[in-house]
Amino acid sequence: MYDDILLPTDGSHGMDAAATHAGELAAQFGATVHVLSVVDTRNRFESPSSGLSADAWLDAERERAAEAIDDTVAQLPDDVTVETATREGVPTTEIVGFAEDEGVDFVVMGTHGRTGLDHYLIGSVAETVVRESPVPVLTVRLSET
């Protein structure tokens, strides 16, 4: 039923909850888990008077993405086939694009469960992916650890 499962990660605490679900599904179906982290190219802190330069922002984001992938892969079962990828751009666009481009069958992703002002200001990557994904999406509330 599922041959390729996409597991997007941003390195958030509690990502083990989503990794556990993806790992169990992959083991059950003999699927490959594709661990994806997106380098967010939108530098919200770049300005003439403060913040980070575009190069510093991208370098920090690339490092964060690499660490997020390593941490998430370490949480998956050893007997599950894993492939990793990094993309650069807007996270929602890149996650949905990866699902389309790579022909994954299923997406498992964490959600912070933000509500109210936090949800309005920060938005929800998971919510947008659920709406735009060409394949089913399982959202997992990230643990508080």
CATH number, position 56: 3.40.50.620
Domain holding 99, by residue range, is: 4-141
Q: Are 116 and 86 in contact (CB under 8 A)?
A: no
Q: What is the pTM of this model?
A: 0.88
The tokens of 15 are what?
Answer: 């990502």
pLDDT value at position 42? Answer: 78
Average pLDDT, the chain: 86
Q: What is the pLDDT of residues 86-137, one digit of tens each?
A: 999 999 999 999 999 999 999 999 886 555 544 444 458 888 999 999 999 9
Q: List beta partners, residue 44.
A: none
Q: Could you tell me the maximum CA-CA distance found in the chain, to the nearest angstrom?
A: 53
Q: Are 134 and 99 in contact (CB under 8 A)?
A: yes
Q: What is the pLDDT of residues 53-83, one digit of tens each?
A: 778 878 988 999 999 999 999 999 999 999 9
Q: List beta partners, residue 37.
A: 86
Beta carbons within 8 Å of 15's beta carbon, 6+ residues apart: 9, 68, 71, 72, 75, 110, 142
The helix (H) or strand (E) run that includes residue 5 is: strand 4-8
Number of domains in the chain: 1
